Amino acid sequence: MSKGAKFAAIALLVPPLTSLADETGGQPKLSCIKDFTFSQEFLARHPRAGAACREVAMRDGMKWVRFEAKVTKVENQQLTANFLDNYNNTVATVTLKASPDARLQVNGRQIPYSELKDGDRLTVWMPEAKVGYYAEPGAMKDERLSLVSDDSAQR
């Protein structure tokens, strides 16, 4: 291969690699298996949580895990959702309570809780350091989704 061809090949590879670094903030992509540790308390209640992990992200020096869930019921300020594994199988059914002014990530966009409906695909985040569900990584205390119930013990 000539020097010119090698240079052209390298030039074509650099932009995709640069954009990948930009998306991850220059950090290597974190793995659900190697880079995130669920607490023993959480695993006791949700032993299949690892199968539901979709992504691990860093925010303000803290690791957050992303889950995807399908909303099955919305009533008052409570929502029930099936947490899904990578094959879209239900690993847990959880009922959460949100404040009426909460904004949630649904079907890839932020919407007010009041617009949530059955069948929506909900994104939920949890920090590594504690058990709790949040609408986005790095969320403030008042953006927490309170756990009302879950059926994990029966699975």
Q: Specify which residues 55 forms β-bridges with.
A: 66
pLDDT at residue 108 greater than cutoff 60: yes
Which domain covers residue 14, as residue numbers? 1-26
Q: What angle do CA 95, 99, 102 make, to 5 degrees?
A: 100
Same domain, 132 and 97: yes
User: CA 51 to CA 114: how far, in whole Å?
Assistant: 30
Same domain, 77 and 13: no
The residue ranges of DSSP E strands in the chain, in sequence order, are: 55-59, 62-75, 78-84, 90-97, 103-106, 109-112, 121-127, 133-134, 144-150
Query: What CATH code is carried by the domain that includes residue 114?
Result: 2.40.50
Q: pLDDT exceeding 70 applies to what percent of the chain?
A: 77
Same domain, 17 and 90: no
Considering its fold, how many domains does the chain have in total?
A: 2
pLDDT in tens, 58-103: 998 999 999 999 999 999 889 999 999 999 999 999 999 988 888 8
Same domain, 90 and 144: yes
Same domain, 35 and 22: no
Averaged pLDDT score across all residues of the chain: 81
pLDDT in tens, 13-60: 444 433 344 444 556 789 999 999 999 988 888 889 999 999 999 998
pTM given for the model? 0.77
Same domain, 77 and 121: yes
